Amino acid sequence: MARVNHAFMHRATRWLAQQGVRQFPDIGTGIPTEPNLHQVAQRTAPGARVVYCDNDPIVPAHAAALLRSTPEGVTEYLQADVRDPDEIIGTGIPTERVSDNSRRAADGNCQTGPRVHPGGSTPHSASSAAP
């Protein structure tokens, strides 16, 4: 199932980048694998901005070694919980480098949904992320 999810994420990311999407938050990223979302996005659109987000304290150690951006793009990591979207959308993301709320963004968390317990998730409107 993990391979199928990664293959879908790669196809969807390539397609979205071809359609002009340049911002890719990956919430609930887990331990990075090759190729990473930013590598796929930045192959198609070198200026793509990617923010990886996870609450697992092991992930940053692995992420630091793998998350290298193209010179034109941005790749960042944020330690936060998918169940606390206000932390992710609010103050956590280094907005001056990564996020432009006037432009479209594609959420790369196609692997998180099945693992979040319904009682532990917080309903949230994507409309708060962009005007």
Query: CATH topology for 2-112?
Result: Rossmann fold (3.40.50)
Span 77-100, pLDDT tens digits: 888 887 887 777 765 555 556 666
Residue with more model confidence, 89 or 59? 59
Residue with more model confidence, 95 or 12? 12
Mean confidence (pLDDT) of the chain: 74
One DSSP character per residue, 2-70 reads HHHHHHHHHHHHHHHHHTT--EEEEET--S--SSPHHHHHHHH-TT-EEEEEE--TTHHHHHHHH----
The domain spans of the chain are 2-112
Query: Does 113 have pLDDT greater than 50?
Result: no
CA separation for the pair 128, 19 (Å, rounded): 23
Q: What is the pLDDT of residue 28?
A: 82
Instruction: Enter the DSSP assignment of 105.
Output: B
Per-residue CA distances from 60 to 14, 30, 66, 80, 84 (Å) = 25, 9, 10, 11, 18
- pTM: predicted TM-score of the whole model, two decimal places: 0.72
Q: What is the pLDDT of residue 130?
A: 41
Query: Does 57 have pLDDT greater than 90?
Result: no
Query: Does 123 have pLDDT greater than 60?
Result: no
> How many of the other CB atoms lie within 10 Å of CB of 69?
17
